[in-house]
Structure 1
Amino acid sequence: MGGGKVYVGENKTRIWNLMMALLVVAFIPSTNQLRPPVLSRCYDRNKNPQECNPEFENIAHKKRVVVTETCGVDGRDPFCKLVEENGVVSRVCDVCERTGRRSHPARYLTDINDIGNLTYWQSKTFQPGEDSDREVELTISFGKEYELSYLYMEFASPRPAAMVIYKSMNHGKTWVPYQHYAKNCRRRFNMAFRTEVNRTNEQEVLCSENFSEVYPYSRGIIVFNPRDGRPSDEDFDNSYILQEWVTATDVKIVLSGLNDIPRNPSAVARIASREGRSALPGGGRRRMTSSGAWGIPRMTRGGRAVATRASTTALYHAGTRVSGATEVVATNSGTTPTTYSFGSSSYYAINDISIGGICKCNGHAERCLMKKGKMVCDCKHKTTGPNCDMCKAFHMDRPPQRATKTDANECIACNCNMHAKRCRFNHDLFEKSGRISGGVCVKCRHNTDGRYCHFCKAGYYRNNKTKSISDKRTCKLCDCNRVGSLGKHCDRDTGQCVCKEHVTRRKCNFCAKGYKQTGSIVAPCARIPVASTPPKGNPSCPRRCSSARGVRVSLGKFCRMGYAVVVQVTGKLTLRRKTRFTLQLHKTYKRGVVRFRKKERVDVEVRDRIVHCLCPKLQVKKTYLLIGKYNRSGGEPRLAIDKGTIVMEWKNKYKRRLRSLQRRARRRKC
Structure 2
Amino acid sequence: PGPWTKQAPCPSASPSLAAQPERQRGGRVPLGSLLRPCPLQVPAPRTSAQEVPDMMPPPGCSGGNCHPPTGNLVIGRGQSLRTSSTCGLHGPELYCVVSKLQDSQNCCFCDSRDGKSHGIENVVSRSDPDGRKTWWQAESGVENVTIQLDLEGAFYFTHLIMTFKTFRPAALLLERSVDHGHSWHVFRYFAHNCSGLFPGIPPAPGRRVSDLVCDQRYSDIEPATEGEVIFQVLDPSFLAENTNNAEIQELLRVTNLRVNFSKLHTLGDRPLGGLRGHPFYYYALYELVIAGSCLCHGHASECRPAPGSPPSVEGMVHGHCVCRHHTTGTHCERCQGLYQDHPWQAAEPGYPHTCQECKCHGHARSCHFDMALYLASGNVSGGVCDACQHNTAGRHCELCQPFFHRDPLEDPRSLHSCKPCDCNPMGALEGGLCDAYTDTTRGLLSGQCRCKVHVWGQRCDSCRPGHYGLSLTQSEGCQPCRCNVRGRVPSTQACDPSSGACHCKRFVSGRDCSRCLVRLEPPPTPPPPASDLTLKWGAELLEAGKYQVVTSVSAD
TM over 0.5: yes
- Contact persistence 1:180–1:208 (CA under 8 A): yes
> What is the CA–CA distance in structure 1 between the aligned matches of 2:228 and 2:60, rounded to whole Å?
37
The match for 1:206 among 197, 213, 219 is 213
Name the counterpart of 1:478: 421
DSSP 3-state at the match of 2:140: coil
User: Which deviates more from structure 2 when the two are superposed, residues 373-382 or residues 247-256?
Assistant: 373-382
CA positional deviation for 1:452: 1.4
> What is the CA–CA distance in structure 1 between the aligned matches of 2:61 and 2:92, rounded to whole Å?
58
Deviations 1:182-217 (A, max 9, x none): 345455444322435556xx6443333442333333
How do 1:301-340 and structure 2 match up within 5 A?
none
> What is the CA–CA distance in structure 2 between the aligned matches of 1:497 and 1:190, rounded to whole Å?
83
Q: Which has the higher strand share?
A: 1
Name the counterpart of 1:359: 294
In structure 1, give the amino acid aligned to 2:157. Answer: L
- Contact persistence 1:123–1:347 (CA under 8 A): yes
> What is the CA–CA distance in structure 2 between the aligned matches of 1:173 and 1:439, rounded to whole Å?
36
CA positional deviation for 1:483: 3.5
- Contact persistence 1:56–1:358 (CA under 8 A): yes
Name the counterpart of 1:509: 461
> What is the CA–CA distance in structure 1 between the aligned matches of 2:375 and 2:102, rounded to whole Å?
71
In structure 1, give the amino acid aligned to 2:77. Answer: K
Deviations 1:66-86 (A, max 9, x none): 1111001111111223322xx
Percent sequence identity over aligned pairs = 29
The match for 2:234 among 224, 227, 232 is 227
- Contact persistence 2:424–2:460 (CA under 8 A): yes
The match for 1:409 among 316, 332, 353 is 353
CA positional deviation for 1:230: 8.2
CA positional deviation for 1:101: 12
- Contact persistence 2:139–2:277 (CA under 8 A): no
- Contact persistence 1:80–1:343 (CA under 8 A): no
In structure 2, give the amino acid aligned to 1:485. Answer: A
Cα distance, 1:514–1:101 mapped onto 2, change above 3 Å: closer
CA positional deviation for 1:60: 2.0
Structure 1 stretches of 5 or more lacking a match?
1-40, 127-131, 265-323, 325-340, 543-609, 614-670
> What is the CA–CA distance in structure 1 between the aligned matches of 2:152 and 2:376, rounded to whole Å?
40
Name the counterpart of 1:139: 148
> What is the CA–CA distance in structure 2 between the aligned matches of 1:50 and 1:123, rounded to whole Å?
47
How do 1:384-533 and structure 2 match up within 5 A?
384-466=328-410, 468-487=411-430, 488-493=432-437, 494=445, 495-517=447-469, 519=471, 520-529=473-482, 531=484
The match for 1:242 among 237, 241, 248 is 248
Q: Which has the higher helix share?
A: 1
- Contact persistence 1:514–1:527 (CA under 8 A): yes
Name the counterpart of 1:58: 72
CA positional deviation for 1:109: 1.2
CA positional deviation for 1:90: 4.0
> What is the CA–CA distance in structure 2 between the aligned matches of 1:539 and 1:381, rounded to whole Å?
75
In structure 2, give the amino acid aligned to 1:255. Answer: F
> What is the CA–CA distance in structure 2 between the aligned matches of 1:219 and 1:91, rounded to whole Å?
18
- Contact persistence 2:426–2:470 (CA under 8 A): no
In structure 2, give the amino acid aligned to 1:496. Answer: Q
How many residues are aligned here? 410
> What is the CA–CA distance in structure 1 between the aligned matches of 2:489 and 2:267, rounded to whole Å?
134
CA positional deviation for 1:449: 1.2
- Contact persistence 1:425–1:440 (CA under 8 A): yes
CA positional deviation for 1:99: 5.9
> What is the CA–CA distance in structure 2 between the aligned matches of 1:434 and 1:387, rounded to whole Å?
29
Name the counterpart of 2:509: none
The match for 2:84 among 68, 80, 85 is 68
The match for 2:320 among 355, 376, 390 is 376
- Contact persistence 2:297–2:331 (CA under 8 A): yes
> What is the CA–CA distance in structure 1 between the aligned matches of 2:414 and 2:220, rounded to whole Å?
76
Deviations 1:56-111 (A, max 9, x none): 21222353121111001111111223322xx7354332221226899322122121
Q: Does residue 192 in structure 1 map to residue 198 in structure 2?
A: no
How do 1:581-592 and structure 2 match up within 5 A?
none
> What is the CA–CA distance in structure 2 between the aligned matches of 1:184 and 1:43, rounded to whole Å?
44
- Contact persistence 1:197–1:231 (CA under 8 A): no
> What is the CA–CA distance in structure 1 between the aligned matches of 2:88 and 2:158, rounded to whole Å?
34
- Contact persistence 2:61–2:67 (CA under 8 A): no
Cα distance, 1:122–1:445 mapped onto 2, change above 3 Å: same
DSSP 3-state at the match of 2:247: helix
CA positional deviation for 1:239: 0.9
DSSP 3-state at the match of 2:322: strand
Name the counterpart of 1:119: 134
Name the counterpart of 2:94: 78
Name the counterpart of 1:163: 172
Cα distance, 1:102–1:381 mapped onto 2, change above 3 Å: closer
Name the counterpart of 1:560: none
> What is the CA–CA distance in structure 1 between the aligned matches of 2:239 and 2:338, rounded to whole Å?
34
> What is the CA–CA distance in structure 2 between the aligned matches of 1:183 and 1:241, rounded to whole Å?
29
Cα distance, 1:457–1:53 mapped onto 2, change above 3 Å: same
> What is the CA–CA distance in structure 2 between the aligned matches of 1:121 and 1:233, rounded to whole Å?
39
CA positional deviation for 1:440: 1.8
The alignment yields a C-alpha RMSD, in angstroms, of 3.5
- Contact persistence 1:233–1:242 (CA under 8 A): no
Cα distance, 1:342–1:424 mapped onto 2, change above 3 Å: closer
Deviations 1:367-386 (A, max 9, x none): 22225443412223332211
- Contact persistence 1:232–1:239 (CA under 8 A): no
DSSP 3-state at the match of 1:245: helix
Deviations 1:225-263 (A, max 9, x none): 112278576421x31221121111221111122234323
In structure 2, give the amino acid aligned to 1:228. Answer: D
Cα distance, 1:146–1:89 mapped onto 2, change above 3 Å: farther
CA positional deviation for 1:356: 1.7
- Contact persistence 1:193–1:208 (CA under 8 A): no
> What is the CA–CA distance in structure 2 between the aligned matches of 1:489 and 1:89, rounded to whole Å?
101
Cα distance, 1:343–1:196 mapped onto 2, change above 3 Å: closer
Structure 2 stretches of 5 or more lacking a match?
1-58, 310-318, 438-444, 493-502, 507-556
Name the counterpart of 1:280: none
The match for 1:176 among 169, 172, 185 is 185
Cα distance, 1:111–1:486 mapped onto 2, change above 3 Å: same
Cα distance, 1:541–1:262 mapped onto 2, change above 3 Å: closer
- Contact persistence 1:198–1:230 (CA under 8 A): no
Q: TM-score, normalised by structure 1?
A: 0.55
- Contact persistence 1:151–1:223 (CA under 8 A): yes
CA positional deviation for 1:152: 0.8
- Contact persistence 2:342–2:374 (CA under 8 A): yes
Q: TM-score, normalised by structure 2?
A: 0.65
